[in-house]
Structure 1
Amino acid sequence: MPRRLNYYAANPKAVQAMLGMEKAVRQSGLEPSLLELVKTRASQVNHCAYCIEMHTREARAAGETEERLYMLAAWEEAECYTPRERAALAWTDSLTRLADTGAPDPAYHVMAEAFTPEEQVALTLAIVTINGWNRFAVGFRAIPGEPPG
């Protein structure tokens, strides 16, 4: 599909706001490996090829295994994720599919047991941010492997 719009060039202030959120996520103290799993999973749910390509590449560069990346699409059935990762992935699915899930109490309680209150906010910000990036990339048809925008 051809790109619809270079959103970086069309509205740099909007992109800078998103980059500010991304910076806060990176500086949150959450494990980079966990963040890449969350970003990849949300991107799978949102069918964002651009972000799936980017975050799986970044995850592999940071040492993530191929097996764990392959299994991410069916993480609930896979035993290769830690309880903390599973809690983050459940919360990611819940918030990414918010209209369908309503962020159910069981997903929140599992996440709250694995993350401190500060980390809960940081994780939620990470999910909010990747969902925003997914909407830019899918909406404007960013091309995987090419510069964004």
Structure 2
Amino acid sequence: MSEEERVHLSRSAPQAYQALAGLSKTAGLLAAEAGIEPRLKEIVLIHASQLNGCSYCVRIHVDRAVAAGLDADTIAQIAAWRDSGVFSERERAALELAESFTFISEAGIPDEVYDHVGGIFSEQEYVALSWLLVSINAFNRVAIAGRYPVPPREEPER
């Protein structure tokens, strides 16, 4: 079945998609109010999208990460964060939380992850990160189910 034959959830039920977009916007506002840095936010959203295999959302959040000041080296190391030295303690904790939320069916949020993350982030920050992760995991599922194509990059003019 080609992409053209797939049900496109955002077009087929725009009211539901707009509700999801509203959740995402609210999660972003919570993150900003909690003091979650744009760099940290995009790192987490990229990683969850990578883990889910959502190339569409990875593209969107890589573009936003670049706009937030992340360089190519840092973005490239997100997938291998455990072995990388470029991430702060906060970023590493958030990446660990992203993995637990993305693979929540395997073990929930394990106590050791919850305790570790809770020792680094305030409750408000934890809540904000959690809603960001709920939102991106939902968007990943919509995009993957619909096989949303990754938009091509425009060639720079020479």
TM over 0.5: yes
**Selected match of 1:20 from 19, 22, 36:** 22
Do 1:48 and 1:137's aligned partners in 2 also have CA atoms closer than 8 Å? yes
Question: Which structure's relative contact order is higher, taking Cα pairs within 8 Å and 6+ residues apart?
Answer: 1
How many angstroms does 1:78 deviate by?
A: 0.6
How many angstroms apart in 2 are the aligned matches of 1:70 and 1:107? 24
**2:94/2:117 contact within 8 Å kept:** yes
Equivalent residue, structure 2, for 1:53: 59
C-alpha displacement of 1:8: 2.1
Q: Aligned partners of 2:141 and 2:73: how far apart in 1?
A: 27
Shift of 1:12: 1.2
**Equivalence for 2:98:** 92
Task: Write the mapping of 1:1-149 to structure 2, written as runs, cut at 5 A.
Answer: 2-3=3-4, 4-28=6-30, 29=32, 30-145=36-151
CA separation in 2, counterparts of 1:111 and 1:78?
19
Structure 2 counterpart of 1:118, which letter?
Q
Question: Residue 142 of structure 2 aligns to which amino acid in structure 1?
Answer: F
Higher mean C-alpha deviation, range 22-31 or range 125-134: 22-31
Q: How many pairs were matched up? A: 146
- CA RMSD, 1 decimal: 1.3
Q: Separation in 2 of the partners of 1:66 and 1:130?
A: 22
CA displacement at 1:6 relative to structure 2: 2.7
- Please identify the structure whose Cα radius of gyration is greater: 2
- Give yes or no for contact 2:56–2:143 (8 Å, CA) kept in 1: yes
Does the Cα contact within 8 Å between 2:94 and 2:129 map onto a contact in 1?
Answer: yes
Contact 1:5 1:141 in 2 (8 A): no
Runs of 4+ with >3 A deviation = none
Q: How much does 1:128 deviate?
A: 0.4
TM-aligned CA deviation for residue 44 of structure 1: 0.6
Check whether the contact 1:41–1:89 (CA below 8 A) recurs between aligned residues: yes
Partner residue of 2:156? none
